[in-house]
Structure 1
């Protein structure tokens, strides 16, 4: 599957960038996220690089027969409407129970323009005591890959400042639908 994924990405002109850090558990930010194609390209990259992963996805995607495909691809359904349902604790528990678990999250929380990124990724990483890794898809350069582990996650503010710096020049599929968090 690894070679097939590499071949598909190469045929469509995508260049693979970066190496996944040598860690067993993490929360991985995938940005920008403006198209369903981001999931396809991202999954091909992960397969091509042999990166074990899971992706949080809105529960509405888990209807038959799509739920069978999503589950087989490592997607985890998330109920974004039920605030009583502590998603941070649920996802942190999933990470804690597994020997190896890299959860990919679209920090914007939507494919629409959102200058106020969701902060669940930060709280999940803190609760599970795992690092935050950054990944990207740049449609202008046709590059997809891993950037690395965030260096300062001591506060949400320092984390968001670093993310702003990382993602400010990366081109989304639909550029008008992507913005970095306003500090």
Structure 2
């Protein structure tokens, strides 16, 4: 589908559902946080917001959704299958893809699932840090029916300080199913405090 057609389709879908988009994209490659992630609808709205903003989003998804008969559709929509049970140095692989690409937007849902969890997974942070690219504060706020990018920041390596920035930004963002929202905290923060 041509970009202009995607944009028109996305704009129509979002308008019919009462959504607005916010933010500007001023980087060619970055990791985009996809949060809060509480519903299967998040993928549809994330893609619509991306298309409306004229951004081709690549995203990580559970490997099982890429099986036949619909797997090819998810790949065509920018999906990259990930087996969450296996640890195959995903951070380094994703960082390498970003370093080698001329332009790439990699959306990562830090909760790692649609269910409430006590911690975000840190992959989004370490992918960006390892690749030397910024992190975009991508969001879907079902409470306000808004989506977009709330700015960029470059991870400093000071996990707690950087996570404070994220906690402040995402504090008022509501997922489609608020009870499924995960706590905005990384396990590394607890380790730092215990040390």
Q: TM-score range by the shorter chain?
A: over 0.9
**What CA distance in whole angstroms lies between the structure 1 residues aligned with 2:27 and 2:183?**
27
- Taking a change above 3 Å as real, the CA distance of residues 55 and 152 of structure 1, as seen in their structure-2 partners, is closer
**Residues 1:30 and 2:31 are matched in the alignment:** no
TM-score by length of 1: 0.94
1:112 is matched with 115
- Give the secondary structure class of the aligned counterpart of 1:31: coil
1:12 corresponds to which of 14, 17, 20: 17
> Pairwise mapping of residues 36-115 of structure 1 onto structure 2 (< 5 A)?
36-83=40-87, 85-115=88-118
Alpha carbons 2:57, 2:104 under 8 Å: kept: yes
Runs of 5+ in structure 2 lacking a partner? 1-5, 190-195
- Give the secondary structure class of the aligned counterpart of 2:80: strand
Alpha carbons 1:31, 1:137 under 8 Å: kept: yes
> Which string of whole-angstrom CA distances, capped at 9 and with x for unpartnered residues, describes residues 124-147 of structure 1?
111111011111111111111110
Shift of 1:150: 2.3
1:127 is matched with 130
> Pairwise mapping of residues 157-176 of structure 1 onto structure 2 (< 5 A)?
157-176=160-179
Alpha carbons 1:168, 1:180 under 8 Å: kept: no
Alpha carbons 1:32, 1:172 under 8 Å: kept: yes
Runs of 5+ in structure 1 lacking a partner? none
2:3 is matched with none
RMSD of aligned alpha carbons: 1.3
**What CA distance in whole angstroms lies between the structure 2 residues aligned with 1:151 and 1:127?**
11
TM-score by length of 2: 0.88
**What CA distance in whole angstroms lies between the structure 2 residues aligned with 1:117 and 1:87?**
16
Alpha carbons 2:128, 2:135 under 8 Å: kept: yes
Shift of 1:65: 2.0
1:147 corresponds to which of 129, 150, 153: 150
> Which string of whole-angstrom CA distances, capped at 9 and with x for unpartnered residues, describes residues 123-178 of structure 1?
11111110111111111111111101126533121121111111111111111111
**What CA distance in whole angstroms lies between the structure 2 residues aligned with 1:29 and 1:111?**
14
